[in-house]
Amino acid sequence: MIPAGFEYHRPADIRSAISILQEHGDAARVIAGGHSLIPMMKLRMTDIGHLVDLQAIGELKGVEVGAEKVTLGAMTTQAELIGNAALGAKIPLLREAALQIADPQVRYVGTVGGNVANGDPGNDMPGLMQCLDATYTLVGPDGTRDVAARDFYEAAYFTARGDEEILTRITIPVPAMKGYAYEKQKRKIGDYATAAAAVLVGGGKASVAMTNLSDTPIWSEAAGAALAKGDVEGCVAAAMGAIAPSEDMRGPIAFKKHVAEVILRRAIAKAQERAK
């Protein structure tokens, strides 16, 4: 499987990368780890004239762990995220989810920024970032702006990011909730979720998000509000009412709803246990 030809660019800073995007418009696309994009190119499901490799841009690297917030450079790989002990201590939910993404080889190159920016409903990080109430920083020709993860996803592969913008950083407030869990059902290692759930709970607060059960990640305010009061049945009912899975090779709709409920209940139980 050989993709169509393209021109390759490896800019050294964000400004240069954006000017390449401006010059070539729709024909240009940025590549981070490439483990979503390259398979699509090999299948010729996407046609890219100019590939803009972000690997040499130092500003996109680095993890900062503060007392109240954490920021992740977009090019932070899943393996770097997993290996960062300070980050794991501060927001263990991130590490728990990252360990369930793909396989070791993919985690070495797959980036957090690529995972959240791609807009693939199968990716784990978008739902997780909604659960954590993260903010994405986008840099474009007109400057820098921040978009909440909860407002970022419009439809499958459609996001609030403009064609000439690059997602550079992710900022996550350190959650006050002590209980956490990321539960995921997948057919095999490396597969996307049949259903996955991110839950934070504790101190009279809760946040609940689900993955690959709609064409965008689903963060349910009502589900979180119910769980905050300890109402597990109300939480499950609200989350189940918010999802809209479609039938595909992972199963028919009824099966996906069944798996979603099982996974959500497991995540809630684990998070509540850890909140104690």
CB of 186 to another protein, least distance (A): 12
CB of 36 to another protein, least distance (A): 10
Nearer to another protein, 37 or 177 (CB): 37
Nearer to another protein, 8 or 157 (CB): 8
Separation of first and last alpha carbons in the chain: 51
Q: Are 176 and 203 in contact (CB under 8 A)?
A: yes
CB of 233 to another protein, least distance (A): 35
Q: Are 201 and 272 in contact (CB under 8 A)?
A: yes
Q: Are 150 and 219 in contact (CB under 8 A)?
A: yes
What's the token pair of residue 59?
Answer: 């500003």
User: Which 8-state DSSP code applies to residue 9?
Assistant: E
The SS3 assignment for 3 reads: coil
Nearer to another protein, 190 or 204 (CB): 190
CB of 44 to another protein, least distance (A): 11
Neighbours of 25 (CB within 10 A): 11
What whole-number distance in Å separates Cα of residue 204 and Cα of residue 139? Answer: 36
What's the token pair of residue 91?
Answer: 């927001």
Q: Give the interface with another protein as residue ranges (CB under 8 A).
A: 1-8, 10, 31, 34-35, 38-39, 41-42, 51, 53, 55, 79, 102-106, 108-109, 189-190
Neighbours of 234 (CB within 10 A): 15
CB of 117 to another protein, least distance (A): 18
Nearer to another protein, 80 or 213 (CB): 80
What crossing angle do the helices spanning 221-228 and 232-242 adopt, rounded to 10°?
180
Nearer to another protein, 48 or 201 (CB): 48
Nearer to another protein, 18 or 102 (CB): 102
* CB proximity list for 17: less than 8 A, separation 6 or greater: 9, 11, 30, 52, 54, 57, 166
Strand order in the sheet with 50-53: 7-9, 50-53, 28-31
